[in-house]
Structure 1
Amino acid sequence: AVPEGQPPGSAAAPPGRREVKVVVVGDGGCGKTSLLMVYAKGAFPEQYAPSVFEKYTTSVTVGKKEVTLNLYDTAGQEDYDRLRPLSYQNTNVVLICYDVMNPTSYDNVAAKWYPEVNHFCRGVPLVLIGCKTDLRKDREQLRKLRASRQEPITYSQGEAACQEINAEVYLECSAKCRENIENVFKEATTIALNAMKRAKRHRKRKVCSVL
């Protein structure tokens, strides 16, 4: 049975196992939900349906330890700007996503998502994710983009944005082709665990200095 307060399909972490809360943000339609669904459920959603709030629970092995991941999908649309901060409490790592074929979603990384996340999750490590990389070679998508005098966002532009928002790492992935999906969550989990370790040491030092 699923414990109270948890959505179906999620389970509580066994006692003693580390838990990491991962929140995924970015513009509506940038590929967040596909990334999460392919990773947590092994299925690519063929039709776009905007998420309001979804939680997936899965596990990942880092080193020799199994870690429970609580993955929170958020709504990127402006209508949910006031609701979304409810997801941010006790977050261990934030994935900021954009669509490499949508320059506006890339611009919003620094213009919208970084300021919001920095406000609600100050000090929480960030990982920048470029989604839908398979579409860089899609002729139809390229034609549409070039018709509006735009080009796909390059890897080096992604790295530049990563430095600008002080993210820990920049990663690219394709949910449709299942490229680099596992790596995204393994990296994010490792980064979160390291930050949690540092915070714990910092708290211990603080207690010692108070004593």
Structure 2
Amino acid sequence: MCWLSCCTGSIDPEEEILLRQKKAKNFNVAVVGDTGCGKTNLIYRFTRGKLPEKDTPSVLDTDEVEIIRKRDKIKLYIHDTSGDEGDARVRNLAYQNSDVIIICFSIDSEESRQNVVANWRTDIRHLCRDTPFLLVGTKRDTRGERGTKVVSKKDGAKTAKTIGAICYLEFSAFEGTRSNRQSKVIFGRAIQACLDNLDDALDDRGCCCC
């Protein structure tokens, strides 16, 4: 499939931007959620295959990573955001520049799940309503702990459906290589969401392949 030109000949500037992004495959991924829910651990497992040495709160840290997917080189700019209310202005920049958003919540906290609907989905609706997003339940390893009340997979999936997420996935940062594989699945879905969204945008503008 060729995306370098449209069958109609001329293209407007917005179409040209979409086509250029389709060819370059450079995407911005914003990872959002409550402070301490495990956003940084997820990113580290994907980008470095390990956990961070220090538990340092992020304000807006960016990781750049290149991967090969189906023979295509894809570059991701992954933005690790703060969950603190006082950092909303910086976080909003990540929202507005994102191609896909990963919303995280801790499955061992009902409040964290409720904040998905009350805070994070509301932010997306106001700032980037057309951006696709995933819902990820972190700290999956707590599900087996005695005396710990956790959000069930069913309730996590129901929340994802309620807010319009493209999927619901779960993640544990403390399962070694399995955690690394889980992180790849999550970011793989994020990449596919970016590609699908670009295709839809081009289709909506009546752009066809040559």
> Does structure 1 conserve the Cα–Cα contact (< 8 Å) formed by 2:60 and 2:79?
yes
> Does structure 2 conserve the Cα–Cα contact (< 8 Å) formed by 1:94 and 1:124?
yes
**Equivalent residue, structure 1, for 2:33:** 26
**Equivalent residue, structure 1, for 2:135:** 128
TM-score (norm 1): 0.81
**Mapped partners of 1:79, 1:160: distance in 2:** 30
**Mapped partners of 1:153, 1:21: distance in 2:** 29
> Does structure 1 conserve the Cα–Cα contact (< 8 Å) formed by 2:60 and 2:90?
no
**Mapped partners of 2:72, 2:137: distance in 1:** 28
> 1:59, CA displacement in angstroms?
2.2
Percent of counterpart pairs with the same letter?
Answer: 33
**Equivalent residue, structure 1, for 2:85:** 78
The farther-off stretch of 35-44 and 157-166 is 35-44
Where 1:104 maps in the other structure, the secondary structure is: helix
Report the count of equivalent residues.
Answer: 181
**Mapped partners of 1:124, 1:83: distance in 2:** 18
1:183 to 182, 185, 201: 185
Instruction: Name stretches of at least 5 consecutive residues in structure 2 with no aligned partner.
Output: 1-22
**Mapped partners of 2:199, 2:133: distance in 1:** 16
**Mapped partners of 1:103, 1:111: distance in 2:** 12
> Does structure 1 conserve the Cα–Cα contact (< 8 Å) formed by 2:108 and 2:151?
yes
**Mapped partners of 1:92, 1:58: distance in 2:** 15
> 1:187, CA displacement in angstroms?
0.9
Q: Which residue identity lines up with residue 156 of structure 2 in the other structure?
A: G
**Equivalent residue, structure 1, for 2:202:** 200
**Equivalent residue, structure 1, for 2:55:** 48
> 1:137, CA displacement in angstroms?
1.6
> 1:60, CA displacement in angstroms?
2.8
CA RMSD of aligned residues (A): 1.5
2:160 to 159, 162, 169: 162
**Mapped partners of 1:87, 1:174: distance in 2:** 24
Per-residue CA distance 1:88-145 (angstroms, 9 max, x = gap): 2331111010011111111100011000011111111110001110121234xxx3x4
> Does structure 2 conserve the Cα–Cα contact (< 8 Å) formed by 1:97 and 1:128?
yes
> 1:47, CA displacement in angstroms?
4.3
TM-score (norm 2): 0.81
> 1:46, CA displacement in angstroms?
5.2
> Does structure 1 conserve the Cα–Cα contact (< 8 Å) formed by 2:34 and 2:105?
yes
**Equivalent residue, structure 1, for 2:103:** 96
**Mapped partners of 1:52, 1:181: distance in 2:** 21
